[in-house]
């Protein structure tokens, strides 16, 4: 079973700079795989290890996503190939346009039975792209998936997390599934896999390669503002655990938290 895992490569949250006015700057941030996508990549690799096939990683974005460090990080985690669709017009693309580009790229890659997504992107976390890609492809599309098992060559059994219950669903292939972050623990790449990553194929496509002439002007997104900083109150609660807990509850009630 050949699996495409779609990854959002975004500025590293650890490198964000907060201005005195609360503005958030990514100017000096490195780019990295979104943390919500790492479990999806691991889930895809585990499925191919159990049932055969290969994982192809796919990402779209501006030229900043095509960095050797990012490529090696993806390919050392089990993906056998990496496809990047690079165009500056994708810098602030909407989820609809991102889904359009991803779906077109998936159609260009042959013999794919399953596409996996993280539960949301690392930057805006809209949780829409995966289901939109599935709709564009005309495939079964589900989100909130926490377990995937192959029961037949063309059928999966998945567990889907709802508010108060777990659905167990049989899903025909091909399918597009968005997985939860607790589907599995992402692996740490071994030195052998890191060295092997440099020999794996990387394809770079443009929008023109996909037959997409242009994208509509991006919808302006409101600037992200960090919450105001507040000084710690530094209250020390002495006494036994029970006494400290009682004092804490009283303080929270007085402040209107409880």
Q: What's the rounded Cα separation, in Å, for the pair 46 and 191?
A: 19
Q: Which domain holds residue 55?
A: 3-210
**CATH number for the domain including 7?**
3.40.50.620
The gap from C-alpha 237 to its chain's centroid, in whole angstroms, comes to: 41
DSSP state of 213: -
When pLDDT is cut at 50, 70 and 90, the band that residue 217 belongs to is low
| 136 falls within a domain | yes
Asked if residue 212 has pLDDT above 80, the reply is: yes
Residue 249 domain-assigned (yes or no): no
| Residues pairing with 160 in the sheet | 145, 167
Q: Whole-prediction pTM value? A: 0.83
CA distance 71 to 118: 18
Residue 2 has pLDDT above 90, yes or no: yes
Q: Tell me the per-residue pLDDT of 102-156, one tens digit each, with 9 for 90 and over.
A: 999 999 998 999 999 999 887 778 889 999 999 999 999 999 999 999 999 999 9
Per the structure, how many domains does the chain have?
1
In a domain, 225, yes or no: no
**224 lies in a domain?**
no
Average pLDDT, the chain: 90
Are the beta carbons of 176 and 102 closer than 8 angstroms? no
Q: For residue 229, count CB atoms less than 10 angstroms from its CB and return exposed for 0-12, middle for 13-18, buried for 19 or more.
A: exposed
Classify residue 36: in a domain, yes or no: yes
Burial class for 124, CB neighbours closer than 10 Å (0-12, 13-18, 19+): middle
pLDDT tens for each residue of 66-103: 999 999 999 999 999 999 999 999 988 889 999 999 99
CA–CA distance, 15 with 175 (Å, rounded to integer) = 35
Q: What local confidence, expressed as pLDDT, does residue 220 receive?
A: 55
Separation between Cα atoms, residue 217 and residue 195, nearest integer Å: 41
In a domain? residue 60: yes
Count Cβ atoms below 10 Å from residue 87 Cβ, excluding itself.
21
């Amino acid at each position: 079973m050949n699996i495409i895992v779609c990854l959002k490569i975004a500025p590293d949250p650890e490198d964000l700079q907060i201005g005195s006015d609360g503005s958030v700057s990514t100017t000096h941030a490195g780019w990295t795989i979104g943390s919500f996508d790492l479990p999806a990549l691991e889930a895809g690799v585990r499925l191919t290890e159990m049932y055969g096939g290969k994982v192809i990683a796919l990402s779209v974005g501006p030229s900043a996503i095509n960095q050797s460090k990012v490529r090696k990080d993806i390919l050392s985690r089990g993906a056998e190939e990496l496809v990047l669709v690079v165009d500056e017009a994708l810098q602030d693309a909407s989820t609809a346009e991102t889904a359009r580009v991803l779906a077109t790229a998936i159609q260009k890659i042959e013999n794919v039975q399953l596409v996996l997504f993280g539960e949301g992107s690392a930057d805006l976390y809209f949780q829409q792209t995966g289901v939109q890609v599935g709709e564009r492809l005309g495939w079964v599309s589900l989100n909130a998936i926490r377990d995937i098992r192959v029961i037949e060559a063309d059928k999966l059994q998945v567990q889907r997390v709802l508010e108060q219950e777990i659905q167990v669903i049989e899903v025909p292939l091909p399918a597009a599934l968005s997985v939860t972050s607790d589907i599995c623990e992402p692996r740490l790449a071994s030195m052998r896999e890191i060295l092997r990553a440099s020999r794996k194929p990387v394809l770079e496509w443009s929008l023109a390669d996909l037959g997409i002439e242009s994208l509509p002007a991006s919808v302006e997104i409101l600037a992200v503002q960090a919450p105001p900083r507040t000084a710690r109150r530094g209250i020390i609660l002495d006494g036994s655990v029970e006494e400290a807990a009682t004092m804490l509850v009283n303080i929270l009630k007085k402040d209107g938290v409880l």
